[in-house]
Homo-oligomer: A and B are copies of this chain.
Amino acid sequence: MSLGAINYAGPMPRWQPDARGRLQEAALTLYREHGYDNTTVAEIATRAGLTKRTFFRYFADKREVLFAGATDLQELFVGEVLAAPASASPIEAVAAALDAAARWFEPMRSYSAQRQLIIAANPELHERELIKLAALAQAVAQALRQRGVADPAAILSAEAGITVFRVAFDRWVDDANRQPFQQLIGELLGELRAVTAA
């Protein structure tokens, strides 16, 4: 047995390049092929060529694989709202955050579309998504208050922004639609302004 063979056939190394990404991709594939309910953590780990132990180093359970990005997204939103110029109106600060979020998501269109289908097919996941989005709106409202925006302007601007984000997201992941996420955000902000003014 050569040293090379030992290296390749030996025990799984503790560190794997992009283990997190591989687990996410494996989970998504299995959820799509066999359904979310029928997939186990062990199957996800095997599919990714990793162990259950490695899975649990990255994710609390099989549901969290799909929501691991929520914290990053919330940090991005809050950071952008706080970083907007002092002269920006509340909705302009929110629009800056939406724009940054759209650029963040753009390279993940295929993953996002698959994730969306899985979530839409499972009420438990759909609930979880609603909760994460409600928390995101609250975090954005809080960031606006830190900028000195009073309520109800803070909460209304935040909620309006998250509504635009959700509707734009649905259109962006739709196969028939090939517009960049950023462009959809801009259009829908304009549409929201038009419908509320009517």
Contact = CB atoms under 8 A, between A and B. Distances in A.
Interface in A53-99: 89-92
Nearest to A166: B159
Given A127-B131, A160-B160, A153 B191 contact: yes
Given A131-B127, A131-B130, A195 B163 contact: no
A5 interface: no
A196 interface: yes
A147 to B, nearest CB: 13
A182 interface: no
Contacts of A3: none
A161 to B, nearest CB: 10
Contacts of A188: 152, 156
A37 to B, nearest CB: 19
A167 B195 contact: no
Given A127-B131, A156-B163, A167-B156, A196 B193 contact: yes
Contacts of A198: 89-92
A184 to B, nearest CB: 9
Given A90-B198, A159-B163, 17 more contacts: A89-B195, A90-B195, A91-B198, A92-B198, A127-B130, A130-B130, A152-B191, A153-B194, A155-B167, A156-B163, A156-B164, A156-B188, A156-B195, A159-B166, A160-B196, A163-B163, A189-B196
